[in-house]
């Protein structure tokens, strides 16, 4: 297995993986949204690939102060092999190189496997915060 940076030619395979892994496809995950993401920090969108193709993804964001983790996903057939941890570690290294002192992720409470993984990797649940959002685009 190799970790590589995403390129737009992988978009179809990545979307298929996200759906197979149970990620919710959201505004911004369409092709135009991903192109916009690549203009900002293409080095933070990573893929895990093996001889069968794309088996894992993680997308990072850097806001100039903190790092953010989005769309950490591994094909169900390839889970429990350390792929998610490898992707997460590589993303953390890249975020630290940009100056991040903290990395955050938002995880649905129902996603028990992801919560377990992040806790195993040293992430702590913040019960003192409330996630809020507002759609402002199309």
Domain spans in the chain, listed from the N-terminal domain onward: 2-120
Q: What's the CATH class of domain 2-120?
A: alpha beta
CB 108 within 8 A of CB 71: no
Q: What is the pLDDT along the chain (138 residues), one digit of tens a residue?
A: 899 999 999 999 999 999 999 888 888 899 999 999 999 999 999 999 999 999 999 999 999 999 999 999 999 999 999 999 999 999 999 999 999 999 999 888 888 989 999 999 999 999 898 888 887 766
Residue 115's alpha-carbon distances to 95, 103, 106, in angstroms, are 21, 15, 10
Instruction: Evaluate if pTM is beyond 0.75.
Output: yes
């Amino acid at each position: 297995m190799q970790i590589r940076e995403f390129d737009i030619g992988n978009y179809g395979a990545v979307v298929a993986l996200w759906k197979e892994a149970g990620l919710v496809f959201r505004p911004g995950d369409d092709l135009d949204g991903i192109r916009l993401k690549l203009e900002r920090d293409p080095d933070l969108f990573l893929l895990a690939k093996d001889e069968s193709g794309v088996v894992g993804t993680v997308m990072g964001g850097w806001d100039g102060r903190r790092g953010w983790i989005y769309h950490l996903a591994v094909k169900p057939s390839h889970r429990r092999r350390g792929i998610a941890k490898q992707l997460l570690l590589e993303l953390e290294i890249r975020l630290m190189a940009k100056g991040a002192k903290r990395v955050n992720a938002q995880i649905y409470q129902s996603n028990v496997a992801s919560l377990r993984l992040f806790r195993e990797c040293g992430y702590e649940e913040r019960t003192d915060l409330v996630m809020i959002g507002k759609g402002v685009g199309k």
